[in-house]
Chain A
Amino acid sequence: MAPTSQDAGGFPSIPALLDRNAQAFAGKTAYREKEFGIWQSWTWAEAREEIEALALGLIDLGVQKGDFIAIIGSNRPHLYWVVPAANMIGAVPVPVYQDSAAEEMAYVLDHCGARFVMAEDQEQVDKVLDVQDRLPQFEQMIYLDPRGMRKYDHAKLHEFSKVQATGRSKAEALRPELEARKAAITPADTCVMLYTSGTTGKPKGVVLSNRNIIETSKNSSEFDKLNPGDEVLAYLPMAWVGDFIFSIGQAYWTGFCVNCPESEDTLNSDLREIGPTYYFAPPRVFEGQLTTVMIRMEDSTRMKKWLFRTFMAHARKVGGAILDGKPVGAWDRFKYWLGGIFVYGPLKNALGFSRVRVGYTAGEAIGPEIFDFYRSLGINLKQLYGQTEASVFIAQQPDGEVRSDTVGVASPGVELKIGDNGEVYYRSPGVFEYYYKNEESTASTKDAEGWVATGDAGIIEPDTGHLRIIDRAKDVGKMADGSLFAPKFVENKLKFYPNILEAVVFGNGRSECTAFINIDLAAVGNWAERNNIAYSSYQELAGHPKVMATVQEHVEEVNRSVAEDEMLSGCQVHRFVILHKELDADDGEMTRTRKVRRRTIEEKYHDLLTALYDGSKAVSTRTEVTYEDGRKGYISATLEVREAKTVPAGAPKQVAAE
């Protein structure tokens, strides 16, 4: 059965929701942007006026039904307005990552055939003009920030405010056309097209309909009881589906306020000033903040350190339980309340999390310690599993059922199943319509019944219904004895140690698992400094016996933890080497988004891999490195192969530790 969908409460589109909000929440703030040192704001009624003026101006510029309008820039209200304005006149908005190079931008703009481009400033305008020869369909560009644009040839350039002004002045003549186009929008029409980041091959244009967006926004807003009083900070790229759902879908559905920071550099202070109630960040943001807190605590006075240590220990004990509404003794509650006054409150305030009611993290696995740290402070941080193809939500954690090792239960309206190969499939009202101009990929991703393959392997816990994501499906394999091999599962556990930056686990088709490890130069370097260990290079530090010993402890701890998992206990790391160089995108060992390329690493370091399996105690190697300017060089090293203790799991097939 294909997913059915009713027209979510009679609102077929984003512009319809805008009309409702401009009536129901007319005087309520819809957008805020920090500009010239103060927060400028627009109410829903004002926002509608701005958006309509823009829509009229776009009609005047010649935007036709079905045209694509690319949006390139950072999070600013004016750029967000382009989405409903485009929808209103039957055009399709295509947000593009503003930091992409001209080359990547050219591919996307050409692929969707955008006739119009909305660029934030001179920098983005320049990028598009650079590649315009390769964009036969490109016609007009609108820019928001007029700075530095005066000398440009304005034959195909228009200033945003002027387009709006034209719209306003010709409103009478153009309004019938606008109303006609608005009335013609159906739930099946395209709401937005978002390009996947494309870790493998070229980016794909995911077409999401009004129905996809509105149903998903409705379900997810109800799931977390979002309300018009909520505040979000819009700081993640507009081209990312999550930002689209949070800052447009859910914002229009519930009518909450979207706050845009002044600039990337002022993000932290803007976050503190706004104090969002609904917040999203990828794990690295939470990691970064925690590290900053810890480093600052190291430098503070003894009294403060003592307070922090004492109360954080208490928070770890009872904070999570209090947040989940579990029974906690009166004395512990009193102590937690006291801690709130001395430590948690001020700390949350400094982080900008004082008012967070619902916080999400997604995109990658988050370390349990980091996750628990925020939850113990009373911040309702939860995990979420999603994809562009699903309009974000596939699984998420309900309040009171939050664990660091799962991504939660199926989101409302989402059906989940696990395929024969262990891959996770889902079906939901949010499932994308198709990949633009790519029927082949559409067919291989989405079947006739509407089930979509995620490309991730996972398991659904039978008793709780929680989904656990183990690894990318294509990386999951079998060990020689037939047990499951999921490298990322182990790698993530290793990477949660601050000392370990990267890990690559091998073992597919072999009897034992082994690993390459990269130490984190910042963390280990800091430790070395405090312990008076001198080193001159990454390589020297990586080979230091004390560092080796520390990493070995980490590996053995991970082995113990892996052994607890029945299905994956075969993935314990038997031997490892600490690599003599950092894995680097310049050497092709990682993608630009820092995902390891297994095949490349396996081929490049085949000598090390052989040594890990032939019983050598040490191995000499010579590796080619590429410097940032493209020159090449070599580094040679002799690496020690370390044995790590493994834990015999319950099953007798397990080889005991040597």
Chain B
Amino acid sequence: MTMDGSTTMQDGQDGYVTADGRKIGGVIMEMKNITLRFGGVVAIKDISFDIREGEIRAIIGPNGAGKSSMLNVISGFYHPQEGEMIYKGSRRPPMKPYEVARQGIARTFQNIALFEGMTVLDNVMTGRLNYMKTNLAQQAMWWGKAQKEEVANREVAERIIDFLEIQSIRKTPVSRLPYGLKKRVELARALAAEPSILLLDEPMAGMNVEEKEDMSRFILDVNDEFGTTIALIEHDMGVVMDLSDRVVVMDYGKKIGDGTPDEVRSNQDVIDAYLGVAHD
């Protein structure tokens, strides 16, 4: 429910309405008491939070807080030793990343992981892999079903290319693109999978102000236009506070805050974590 520009949380599956009038649905992904250890190092300590359908959810925290580990847990790269994940109402067993992807969770990487030698279009098309049902032989023949399938997938890819305004580099090999554009191509590839949850690992890292503005606009547009649920990790506090509906704050593997940007901003633990206080 909207109240003087702030957002009020409600328990249960009903969701809420954001300040700008977007309807946020029920919980799509719930993390319950997640703990992740690497040998003796505890990367994530007993963290619980949820992601709701249609919202932009940010995970922030200082360096080494465990944000990327968290994202890797969601995308199936890491398997937590304790805790459970409830995805779309049912408990998710330990899975390989490609199985997670098939379930509708797509991601981008902090250090761009595109196929450098391939064109932008081909890279985006790889995002459609889960929608291709024909086998290698059929695709090699490129006839009948395989052709129809590719046309349909190409259309989705082209709509995303149009949406992200990268038409002019459609046929350009990715290796020739500047950093900011590569980031956009990576977003395009993740979107091509038509994900239920889109995970963005530091989408603004290394960008200048203009590129950040562009990327922010695209993230908002994606959320608005396709209703995609977005979970993102970001360093840039200004960007996070403007973009997200709800923010989880982590420090030293622990959750120290969770709420709307305004709530988080006034949280003493969060201020301490960012400004630095003596740790015991």
Q: Is the CB of B20 within 8 A of A266?
A: no
Residues of chain B within 8 A (CB-CB) of A148 are: 221, 224-225
Q: With a CB–CB cut-off of 8 A, which chain A residues contact B171?
A: 269
Q: Mark A586-620, 1 if CB is under 8 A from B, else 0.
A: 00000000000000000000000000000000000
**A653 close to chain B: CB less than 8 A:** no
Q: Does A471 contact B (CB under 8 A)?
A: no
A151-B20, A266-B167, A266-B168 given as contacts; is B159 within 8 A of A36 (CB)?
yes
In-complex Cβ contact of B154 among A37, A262, A266 (8 A): A37
Tell which of B121, B158, B167 has the most Cβ of chain A within 10 Å: B167
With most chain B CB atoms within 10 A of its CB, the pick from A35, A37, A265 is A37
Q: Is the CB of B167 within 8 A of A265?
A: yes
Interface flags for B207-230 (1: CB within 8 Å of A; 0: not) read 000000000000001001100000
A262 surroundings in chain B (CB, below 8 A): 167-168
A132 CB within 8 Å of chain B? no
Indicate whether B170 reaches chain A with its CB closer than 8 angstroms. yes
Q: Is A43 an interface residue (CB 8 A)?
A: no
Cβ-based interface call for B163 (8 A): yes
Contact A36 B155 (CB under 8 A): yes
Nearest A-chain residue to B158, judged by Cβ: A36
Known contacts being A147-B221, A150-B224, is A263 close to B168, with CB within 8 Å?
yes
Q: Which of B20, B165, B170, B225 contacts A37 (CB 8 A)?
A: B170
List of B residues within 8 angstroms of A147 by Cβ: 163, 221, 225
Q: Is B82 an interface residue (CB 8 A)?
A: no
Interface residues of B in 17-76 (CB under 8 A from A): 20-21
CB interface residues, A 248-275, toward B, < 8 Å: 262-263, 265-266, 269
Q: Does B161 contact A (CB under 8 A)?
A: yes
- Known contacts: A147-B163, A150-B224, A266-B167. The answer to whether A37 contacts B158 by CB under 8 A is yes
Alpha-carbon separation in the docked complex, A263 to B165 (Å): 9
Instruction: Give A31-45 as 1s and 0s: 1 = Cβ < 8 Å from B's Cβ atoms.
Output: 000011110000000
> A147-B221, A263-B168 given as contacts; is B162 within 8 A of A36 (CB)?
yes
Bound state CA distance, A265 and B168, in angstroms?
Answer: 6
Docked pose: A276 CA to B48 CA in angstroms: 62
A305 to B24, CA, bound (A): 63
Tell me the smallest distance from the CB of A623 to a CB of chain B, in Å: 31
CA gap between A148 and B158 in the complex, in Å:
18
Contact digits for A125-153, partner B, Cβ 8 Å, 1 yes 0 no: 00000000000000000000001101100
The residues of A that contact B159 with a CB separation of less than 8 Å are 36
A263 to chain B: closest residue by CB: B167
- B209–chain A nearest beta-carbon distance, Å: 15
Total A-B Cβ pairs within 8 A: 35
Q: Is the interface of B mostly helix, strand, loop or mixed?
A: helix
A36 contacts across to B, CB distance below 8 A: 155, 158-159, 161-162
User: What does the 1/0 interface line of B154-198 toward A look like (CB < 8 Å)?
Assistant: 110011011101011011000000000000000000000000000
How far apart are B42's CB and chain A's nearest CB, in angstroms?
44
Residue with the greatest number of chain B CB neighbours at <10 A, chosen from A36, A147, A262, A266: A36
A150 to chain B: which residues have CB within 8 Å? 224-225
CA distance A424 to B179 in the complex (A): 54
Whether B21 lies near A37 (C-beta < 8 A) is no
Q: In the complex, which residues of chain A have a beta carbon less than 8 angstroms from the beta carbon of B154?
A: 37
How many whole Å from B217's CB to the nearest CB in chain A? 9
Q: A151–B168 contact, CB under 8 A? A: no
A151-B223 Cα distance, complex, nearest whole Å: 13
Q: Within the complex, what minimum Cβ distance (angstroms) separates B160 from chain A?
A: 10
Q: Give the shortest distance, in Å, between A474 (CB) and chain B (any CB).
A: 42
A629: min CB distance to chain B, Å? 15
For chain A, the bracket of interface size reads 10 to 19
Given A151-B20, A151-B21, decide whether A37 and B167 contact each other with a Cβ distance below 8 A. yes
In the bound complex, residues from chain A placing their C-beta under 8 Å from that of B165 are 263
With a cutoff of 8 Å between Cβ atoms, the chain A residues found around residue B163 in the complex are 147
> A1-46: which have CB < 8 Å to B?
35-38
Q: Nearest CB to that of B162 among chain A residues? A: A36
Contacts of A35 in B (CB 8 A): 162
Q: How many Å lie between the Cα of A11 and that of B121 in the bound state?
A: 47
Tell me the residues in window 35-79 of chain A with beta carbons closer than 8 Å to chain B beta carbons: 35-38
B221-273 residues at the A interface, CB under 8 angstroms: 221, 224-225
Closest-by-CB residue of A relative to B168 is A265
Chain A residue with Cβ nearest B161: A37
Report how far A38 CA is from B154 CA in the complex, Å.
11
Residues of B within 8 A of A151 (CB): 20-21, 224
Chain A residue, CB-CB nearest to B160: A36
Once bound together, how far apart are the Cα atoms of A150 and B20, in whole Å?
Answer: 12
CA distance A148 to B222 in the complex (A): 10
Alpha-carbon gap, A262 to B159, bound state (A): 13
Q: Nearest Cβ in chain B — how far from A546, in angstroms?
A: 36
Nearest CB in chain B: distance from A247 CB, A: 21
Bound CA span A262–B158, Å? 12
Q: How far is the CA of A38 from the CA of B170 in the complex (A)?
A: 12
> Which residues 506-552 of A sit at the B interface, judged by CB distance below 8 A?
none
Taking the closest CB of chain A, its distance from the CB of B206, in whole angstroms, is: 23
With both beta carbons as reference points, the residue of chain B lying nearest to A35 in the complex is identified as B162
Chain A nearest CB: distance from B187 CB in Å?
16
How far is it, in angstroms, between the C-alpha of A269 and the C-alpha of B171 when the chains are bound? 10
Docked complex Cα distance between A36 and B161 (Å): 8
Contacts of B162 in A (CB 8 A): 35-36
The residue of chain B having its C-beta at the shortest distance from the C-beta of A148 within the complex is B221
Name B81-119 residues within 8 Å CB distance of A.
none
Could you tell me the distance between the alpha carbons of A130 and B79 in the complex, rounded to whole angstroms?
A: 52
How far is B170's CA from A37's CA once the two chains are assembled, in angstroms? 8
Query: Bound complex: CA of A35 vs CA of B159, how far in Å?
Result: 9
Closest to B170 in A: A37
Report the Cα distance A269→B169, complex, angstroms.
11
CA distance A35 to B158 in the complex (A): 9
A264 to B, closest residue via Cβ: B168
**Chain B nearest Cβ from A264, distance in angstroms:** 9
Q: How far is the CB of B177 from chain A (nearest CB, A)?
A: 13
Residues of A within 8 A of B161 (CB): 36-37
Smallest CB separation, B185 vs chain A (Å): 15
Compute how far the CA of A148 lies from the CA of B225 in the bound complex, rounded to whole angstroms: 7
Give A91 Cβ to nearest chain B Cβ, in Å.
31
Instruction: Return A75 CB to nearest CB of chain B, in Å.
Output: 15
Give Cα distance in the complex from A35 to B170, angstroms.
12
13 A-B pairs within 8 Å (CB atoms) are namely A36-B155, A36-B158, A36-B161, A37-B154, A37-B158, A147-B221, A150-B225, A151-B20, A263-B165, A265-B167, A265-B168, A269-B168, A269-B171
> Chain B: residues with CB nearer than 8 A to chain A?
20-21, 121, 154-155, 158-159, 161-163, 165, 167-168, 170-171, 221, 224-225
Q: Which 4 A-B pairs have the closest CB atoms?
A: A265-B168, A36-B158, A37-B158, A266-B168
